[in-house]
A and B are shown apart, each in its own frame.
Chain A
Amino acid sequence: MTELARSGSESVTELARSGSESVTELARSRSESVTEPTVLSEEGVASEVVGGHRETAPTGRAILAGRGGRTTRLLVTGIGVVAPSGIGVEEHWRSLLRGELSVRPIEGFDASVYGVTIAGQVRGFVPEEHVDARLLVQTDRWTWMSLAAATLAAEDAGYIPPEEAYATSVFLAAGSGGNEFSQHEIQGLWAKGPKAVGAYQSIAWFYAASTGQISIRDGWKGPSGVVVSESAGGLDSIGWARRVARRGTPAVLVGGTEAGICPYALLCQVTSGRLSTASRPEDGYKPFDRRANGHTIGEGGAILLVEEADAARARGAQKVWGEVVGYGATHDAHHHEDPAPDATQYARAIRLSLADAGIGPDDVDLVIADGAGVPELDRLEAEAVTSVFGERGVPVTAPSSWTGRLMAGGSALNVATALLAIRDGVVPGVGNLDDPVEEYGLDLVRETREQDVGVVVVLARGFGGFNSALVLRRYPEEAA
């Protein structure tokens, strides 16, 4: 019988107990929804016989059949972080807990002409240490960081690829694609002509490049995808991964990274009108502060491995960071640029996620906010949070303020941070928060503090009106 320990915690819990619950639950949900239920053998591996057109059906492919039921227990078993706050999940965590601002003056080019001079850049990232030389030349920095984060996540999970290649999927969020690579190629094209464009432009810049490269490098053939919903993407990739898991694929890599700190991509982001023009990092990205003046961009993100509970148990997973128990997404459908004048849809996303998790607002110990750092957007987020949780009804933090907003990578990184808070019972505070806007009615975490965290709601918004909420819970639930 496998024992599953929460990493970094003294409490070791037998998986057997919780595992048997999840088996029962899964069996129940499947028998409700599927008249010919998948039979779970003692190993927790689906043993359904599938009528196929070929006799050479790979073993275990039956697990992938069908459209699945609504309830699938999804555990986070691995985290890979490549972020301004650090490379590797523990380095990121130490940086946040120390309250280190990883936003600094932009290195690599003179950004002053764009009116934006600070950003959260990933320092100390040596691509050669993470990416094969042959792959390096084919890919953008964004993909290097995705490849590195995917490896770190799989290592963290102790994930040994199953024989069944279709049993693992890569379902990432993308935001802006392979920016720096593409700028070089387009420059070459216009300065010198079509022959200056290299052979890898067609595979380096498009939004599916990182997903494709990971699946190829690691041999994973499951249903894979790429979603784009600007900064909400990291949460949405997990929402979509749940659909993939419900339909029978037991392991999915989720999250994403971003690399938009090169001249053209920076200029593009400046036109959103939402970037801080502050030159001192501590003056820049100040969510919920009276001096909120826009956000700072950053690069990197996180990739996480999520696994269906029985599959994780069957392979003898040694670590569970937490369980994904709820997800909700809405769109403002209000304006191509401006947020809706009220937080109705944002609040609805939060309520949907709680309903999906089968919990109430009182069960939530912590909210990780989107923290846009734009006064109007901060006010709307406060309105959404207080309408669901009440005035000062739940502690709220916004760790993006330490790293900058990493677009699609940022919400994924916040999921990692939420799981770390659950593990250690410690909550990092909001960065750069000197003078909170009291009228928001939020219980903002001012400084790193100890607090038992059993359930976290992570929020994210994407430019144009995307609202997403994800509920994470300690696993097993009762442990403390």
Chain B
Amino acid sequence: MRSRAVSADGRRVVVTGIGVVAPGSIGREGFWDMITAGRTATRRITFFDPSRFRSQVAAEVDFDPRALGLTAHEVHRNDRFVQFAMVAADEAVADSGLRFGVGGAPDAPEPERVGVTLGSAVGATMRLENEYVNVSDAGTHWLVDPRYASRFLHQALVPSCGATELAVRFRAQAPATVVSTGCTSGIDAVGYGSQLIEDGDADVVIAGASDAPISPISMACFDTIRATTANNADPEHASKPFDARRDGFVMGEGAAVMVLEELEHARARDAEIYCEVTGYANRCNAFHMTGLRPDGVEMAEALDQALRQGRIDAEEVGYVNAHGSGTKQNDRHETAAVKLSLGEAAYKVPMSSLKSMVGHSLGAIGSIEIAATALAVQRQVVPPTANYEEPDPECDLDYVPKTARESKVDVAVSVGSGFGGFQSAIVLAKPDRRAS
């Protein structure tokens, strides 16, 4: 006996719009072309001189916010992570065909029924650091000098400003929040957004995540615990998830935003539907802030629960979008978790890591991976794991090396794992998979 997928009122959630700001490509279609071509966007850091750092590689976004439609004021008051979110949300909203806040438009959603859930692991860390350099004269004074301060520092300190910017932009008056569960923020934000719709608190939710952590303090703090790669000689091939030679993750940045919509709401306006969100669950490992037990039990538990909500059997899963950060312990942990959850089916299902190409953008990557997974379901193509060459005996699943693959993907899962012990899983399915 399985518990049912349906929420209290049987409300189902579908994805009707996708927007992406990723390293190597801004925009959903460019992103899809890049990841299905197996192209990597990792490079030697250009934002600052990385020579004093252990890890000198990152996946940077070449980002011109003014050219992408943001006003000078929007750029001035917002950290890069908010700017990414605004650009990605603009694309997602345009893609959905919904005309937010347009009074009288026949398909304009009721503002009081539109919510926002924006994930971010580290918020405005880049702006906070840049401004700190000014007010402390590069770390010279503990008592910082207010005369050098920007007047938008409160928004930088408290990342909920990101949710506010999106709410104001699209006149979303239902619940809005920032979700900050470290590196699972991007999955959790979409999961919470789905729950808002299931619970009847919104009909449409702008859900996604954004992070812009390529700054000296972020690079330094991961340097000291050797979480990031030291493969500085070959930046384009530095991120090697599941490969025996992997030596840490490559820092990334970016955003992805989805328009989530209640199924009947989407049907009533004949919207194009990418996929249905049939399950979401998260768990904590209660083990270690950065360490992972090799058995993957808690991630498997999250995945089990997420599948169970949609009454989906292991054999039905056509694609596993991995966390695949490229650290020794993560890829082993995750392989074990997928085997534990899917059993024998784990050996047959294609499983790949986007981080091989776009790096690890902390909280944002979960939403970027959901965007890719939704596109995989829609297009029946599985993106590859770039740079994968040398198998690791402890990672013995089908990681889709280097080349994208046409494949039957009626159901796909995306999983994530983060500092603090968070483990999350979300399940996306073809919209017509289940009769209404």
Contact = CB atoms under 8 A, between A and B. Distances in A.
Interface of A: 32-36, 38, 48-54, 61, 64-70, 109-110, 113-115, 138, 165-166, 169-170, 174-177, 182-183, 185-195, 197-199, 201-203, 206-209, 211-213, 215-216, 218-230, 233, 236, 239-240, 243, 246-247, 260, 263-265, 267-273, 329-337, 345, 348, 407, 462-466
A32 B10 CA distance: 11
Given A201-B220, A221-B298, A336-B77, A260 B284 contact: no
A187 B141 CA distance: 8
Contacts of B281: 223
A208 B173 CA distance: 26
A212 B282 CA distance: 13
Interface stretch (B163-171, B376-384, B389-397): B163-171
12 contacts: A52-B304, A67-B6, A190-B133, A197-B223, A197-B224, A206-B122, A221-B286, A223-B282, A226-B180, A240-B192, A333-B171, A464-B160
B410 to A, nearest CB: 18
B155 interface: yes
B129 interface: yes
Interface in B70-122: 77, 111-112, 116, 121-122
Contacts of A269: 154, 157
A206 B133 CA distance: 19
B308 interface: yes
A175 B153 contact: no
Contacts of B284: 169-170, 212, 215-216, 220-222, 224
The range of chain B's interface size is 35 or more
Given A203-B419, A246-B199, A67 B175 contact: no
B282 A53 contact: no
A228 B159 contact: yes
B77 A230 contact: no
A228 B289 contact: no
Contact of B290 (A35, A193, A202, A329): A202
Interface string B149-162: 11111111111110
Interface in B287-327: 287-290, 298, 300-301, 304-305, 308-309, 314
B152 to A, nearest CB: 7
A268 B157 CA distance: 6
Given A70-B9, A224-B284, A331-B175, 4 more contacts: A50-B2, A177-B123, A203-B289, A216-B289
Interface in B165-214: 165, 167-168, 170-182, 188, 192, 195, 198-200
A331 B139 contact: no
B213 to A, nearest CB: 10
A203 to B, nearest CB: 4
Contacts of B144: 263-264, 267
Nearest to A199: B224
A236 B3 contact: no
B420 interface: yes
A206 B180 contact: yes
Contact of B112 (A33, A68, A240, A348): A348
Contact of A345 (B6, B9, B128, B173): B173
A334 B165 CA distance: 9
B180 A193 contact: no
A174 B158 CA distance: 9
Contacts of A224: 181, 282-284, 422
Interface string B390-433: 00000000000000000000000000001111100000000000
Interface string B1-25: 1111111110000000000000000
B65 interface: no
Interface of B: 1-9, 52-54, 77, 111-112, 116, 121-123, 128-129, 132-133, 135-136, 138-140, 142-146, 149-161, 163-165, 167-168, 170-182, 188, 192, 195, 198-200, 216-217, 219-225, 227, 281-290, 298, 300-301, 304-305, 308-309, 314, 340-343, 418-422
A110 B143 contact: yes
B204 to A, nearest CB: 13
Nearest to B283: A221
Contact of B168 (A166, A218, A268, A333): A333
Given A206-B180, A224-B181, A215 B421 contact: yes
Contacts of A199: 224-225
Name the residue among B121, B159, B171 with the largest chain A CB count within 10 angstroms.
Answer: B159
Given A191-B140, A331-B175, A186 B129 contact: yes
Nearest to B345: A53
A176 B158 contact: yes
Given A208-B181, A216-B288, A53 B343 contact: yes
Contact of A236 (B159, B165, B177, B288): B177
Given A264-B132, A271-B153, A335-B168, A65 B3 contact: yes
Contacts of B219: 194
Contacts of A166: 283, 301
Contacts of A185: 217, 220-221
Contact of B1 (A50, A229, A243): A50
B340 A54 contact: yes
A35 B112 CA distance: 31
Given A53-B314, A67-B5, A331-B175, A222 B283 contact: yes
Contact of B224 (A69, A198, A208, A265): A198
Tell which of A52, A186, A269 has the most Cβ of chain B within 10 Å: A186
Contacts of A53: 304, 314, 340-343
Contacts of B149: 267, 271
A152 B358 CA distance: 44
B154 A268 contact: yes
B223 A194 contact: yes
B141 to A, nearest CB: 9
A192 to B, nearest CB: 8
Given A202-B225, A223-B281, A229-B176, A36 B3 contact: yes
B216 A265 contact: no
User: 7 nearest interchain CB pairs?
Assistant: A212-B420, A190-B139, A464-B164, A66-B3, A191-B139, A207-B180, A272-B154
Given A227-B177, A333-B111, A69 B165 contact: no
A78 to B, nearest CB: 19
A206 B419 contact: yes
Given A203-B289, A216-B289, A330-B112, A208 B221 contact: no
A244 to B, nearest CB: 9
A36 B2 contact: yes
B215 to A, nearest CB: 10
Contacts of B159: 207, 228
A330 B122 contact: no
B139 A188 contact: yes
Contacts of B160: 228-230, 233, 462-464, 466
Given A70-B199, A203-B420, A345-B173, A208 B3 contact: no
A226 B179 contact: yes
Q: Which of A49, A138, A166, A213 has the most CB of B within 10 A?
A: A166
A207 B123 contact: yes
A367 B44 CA distance: 56
Contacts of B9: 33, 70
A444 B133 CA distance: 45
B199 A197 contact: no
A110 B170 CA distance: 43
Given A54-B340, A166-B301, A331-B175, A270 B146 contact: yes
Contact of B52 (A69, A193, A206, A216): A193
Nearest to B180: A207
A465 B168 contact: yes
A456 B132 CA distance: 42
Nearest to B287: A216
Contact of A65 (B138, B195, B305): B305
B172 to A, nearest CB: 5
Contact of A208 (B77, B111, B180, B195): B180
Nearest to B344: A53
